[in-house]
Structure 1
Amino acid sequence: MNTMITSPRHVSSGFKVDLSRGQRIDRVSSEWFSRPDDERYLSLSDLHRAVSARTERARVRTVETADIRVEATRDNAERLSLIVPGGREPVAPTHWSYGQLCSLVGAPANYMRQLPAPLAAINLQHGLLNHDAEMIKTLEMDDGRVELRAVTGPDYGRIWDRDLVAAVMSIAGNGTGDTIWKVPGVLDWSTMTHNPFVDITKDTTTLYASDRDVFLFLVDDTHPIEAGRLPNGQPDLYFRGFYAWNSEVGSKTLGIAAFYLR
């Protein structure tokens, strides 16, 4: 049987949806469930401001692994630091970059994190000195103290998180309704009614950024598309959406996915 699909139409209130049709996209819901408050943003401009600030404080260098020095002091037995060639200050690895360094020298990161910093420093230094010397690219950021955010291969092609957010802003504006693309509305599960017109809060936002990635999800839910009729005779409506992601520290590659959403 052929299904008649109509052009998108503007709505001014909520509309019924049928979740029994289509399939669940766990990627989007898992982001919503797992992100803490400090990784949630209420607009694309806020998100862009945050990721741009860290890009402006970033520094990229290419160094040889054997030239990196690992230090730990008795004054702070829980923290180690690195002396990277060309740097004036010690660099503190993040949880992510520490794991990358451990992987580079073949050391189990979880085990290394359980060791006192002086002992972990000895093991990591031994690995760097005895590992086949190779060039690596470091990503550092000065935010009061200098952090090592990433360790990648010398040819790693980095796409900055701010560039992805800026590209999305070119079509979605602020992501709050100033264009057709916006943070999704809310579904009332008791009535199966989707309401596109709700305030964006930390609980409802779909704009996220952490120290290792950025993820954003936007929809055009004020212009649903009719694809036939529901069993009760009401229009069967769905709307367009897309989500995009990136990591400038190497935890994932740039990507985008588009779909129709109920």
Structure 2
Amino acid sequence: MDTITSASQTVSSGFNVDISRGERNGRVSSEWFSRPDDERYLSLGELFGAVKSRADRAHARTVESSSIRLEANRDNPERLELIVSGNQRPVAPTHWSYSQLCTLVGAPATYMRQLPAPLAAINLQHGLLKHRGELVKTLEMDDGRVELRAVTGPEYGRIWDHELVSAVMKIVGNGTGDTIWKVPGLLDWASMTHNPFVDISKDTTTLYASDRDVFLFLVDDTHPIEAGRLPNGEPDLFFRGFYAWNSEVGSKTLGIASFYLRAVCANRNIWGSENFQEISIRHSKFAAERFAHEAAPALTSFANSSPAAFVAGIRAARERIVARDDEDRQTFLRRRGFSKSETNKIIETVFSEEGRPPESIFDFVQGITALARDKTHQDTRLELEGKARKLLESAA
């Protein structure tokens, strides 16, 4: 396992945070809300064992689409089965692979599921016989019965879920505190402190896997980083975090996102996020090579990096004064594409939270991200967050 060091002091208890600053990121929370207990894991070792086991029982092959036969199950006429060339045992499609099969032949999956199995089989068979692609790649798994986990194009570049988990484990260990990287603690709303020392349970874990994907979120929240002071004189504390995801059956890309954050609440919202960076890789022909040469090294670099550059950037943004009166503030924001209404709201927000109007780049960044948090439309929110990020980077 790669050696990891931290420039920050280790804490033994919770620490005060100001989550009114930075961005709120709900990606992990959406995963947390949607995962049943059997998709939640308490350690990376347990997660790896589950996804590696299913990969060991799976095999991929490329076949002619016209050689796939569909028929209704003899014992259950409402259920479809496939006979794939080279395997005389019937193959049962999963919910996901059935959708892929329908997409492949241009049939709406929702409608096809409403048809009686014999009629659906006739329609799909016709589509496969007329399929212009001719070749398809199947992923089948023998788990007592043969299950069709995925149907993709022949150039699909599969990155196995266990390969991502293994790459993460080489950097962070088991994700349970055996290294500085771990499942995050919890924000206490009453005291506004982030407590890193919370037991990992089915309710608190951020390590997930289903039959179609894997997702994990880890932080270094026992080594908070001070990046300036709050208006009340207390330190503005951050810690590092990242999440990663993949689907070996083609339901999503492979990706890694790294950032600094101030807290994680019970429903796994990320609060006070700064310096968000993301790499995503489509499962194209050379996906495995890109993962080996881009994503994995980027994660290693972030995990082993010093926070000095981040702290210096925040400090520079705090020290760079760009507006000294109301006219300066209006001009500064309007020249950067903000409407008159948005400009006034940003200034009012900073005044409300800081007790003074914005002066530095950091002040304006906090006002913009606060405005973004109130936007219900994702596109608008992301646009504002992008402007805030660009402005912060300009101070470095």
State TM-score, norm by structure 1.
0.95
Shift, 1:232, TM fit: 2.5
Q: Does the 8 A contact of 1:66 with 1:133 survive in 2?
A: no
* CA-to-aligned-CA distance 1:13-65 (integer Å, 9 cap, x gap): 00111110100112122111211111110000000000000000001110010
CA deviation after TM superposition for structure 1 residue 7, in Å: 4.4
Find out whether 1:206 has 2:206 as its counterpart.
yes
Query: Residue 184 of structure 2 corresponds to which residue in structure 1?
Result: 184
Mapped to 2, the partners of 1:15 and 1:99 lie a distance apart of 47
Q: Deviations over 1:149-172 (max 9, x none)?
A: 001111111000001000100011
- Aligned equivalent of 1:3: none
Greater displacement, 24-33 / 145-154 = 24-33
Residues 1:55 and 2:55 are matched in the alignment: yes
Change (3 A) 1:221 1:234: same
Secondary structure of the structure 2 residue equivalent to 1:29: helix
- Is the 2:73–2:81 Cα contact (8 Å) retained in structure 1? no
Please show how residues 25-174 of structure 1 align to structure 2 within 5 Å: 25-73=25-73, 75-132=75-132, 134-174=134-174
Segments of 5+ residues of structure 1 without an aligned counterpart are: 1-5
- Which ranges of structure 2 fall in alignment gaps of 5 or more residues? 1-5, 263-396
Counterpart for residue 222 of structure 1: 222
Determine the C-alpha separation between the residues in 1 that align with 2:230 and 2:133. 65
Shift of 1:130: 2.4
Name the structure where strand makes up a greater proportion of residues: 1
Confirm or deny: 8 A CA contact 2:241 2:259 kept in the other structure.
Answer: yes
- Answering whether residue 243 of structure 2 is matched by residue 243 of structure 1, we say yes
Offset, 1:132: 2.3
- Aligned amino acid, residue 176 of structure 1: T
| Per-residue deviation, residues 187-226 of structure 1 (Å, max 9, x unmatched) | 1112111110110001100000011110000000000000
CA deviation digits over 1:173-193, x for unaligned, max 9?
110000011000011112111
| Amino acid of the structure 2 residue aligned with 1:232 | N
Equivalent-residue separation in structure 2 for 1:191 and 1:144 (angstroms): 52
- SS of 1:54's equivalent in the other structure is helix
- State the TM-score, normalized to the length of structure 2: 0.63
RMSD: 1.3
Cα 1:229/1:133, change in 2 over 3 Å: closer
SS in 1 for 2:77: strand
| Partner Cα distance (2:19, 2:70) in 1 | 54
The count of corresponding residues between Structure 1 and Structure 2 is 257
Q: Is the 8 A contact 2:41 2:47 kept in 1?
A: yes
* 1:42 partner letter: L
1:47-102, CA deviations, whole angstroms, 9 ceiling, x for partnerless residues?
00000000000011100101100010453122111000011311001011101110
Partners of 2:103 and 2:72 lie apart in 1 by 20
Contact 1:208/1:214 (CA < 8 Å) preserved in 2? yes
Please report how far the alpha carbon of residue 250 of structure 1 lies from its aligned counterpart in structure 2 after TM superposition: 0.7
CA distance in structure 2 between the partners assigned to 1:188 and 1:203 by the alignment:
16
Q: 1:133 offset after TM fit, Å?
A: 5.2
Identity of aligned residues (%): 80
Distance 2:9 2:30 in 1: 30
**What is the Cα deviation at residue 230 of structure 1?**
2.0
For 1:132 and 1:157, locate their aligned partners in 2 and report how far apart those are by CA, in whole Å.
20
Alignment partner, residue 196 of structure 1 = 196
Offset, 1:235: 1.5
Which of the pair is proportionally richer in helix? 2
- 1:14 aligned partner: 14
- What CA distance in whole angstroms lies between the structure 2 residues aligned with 1:37 and 1:73? 31
CA contact (8 A) 2:176 2:182 kept: yes
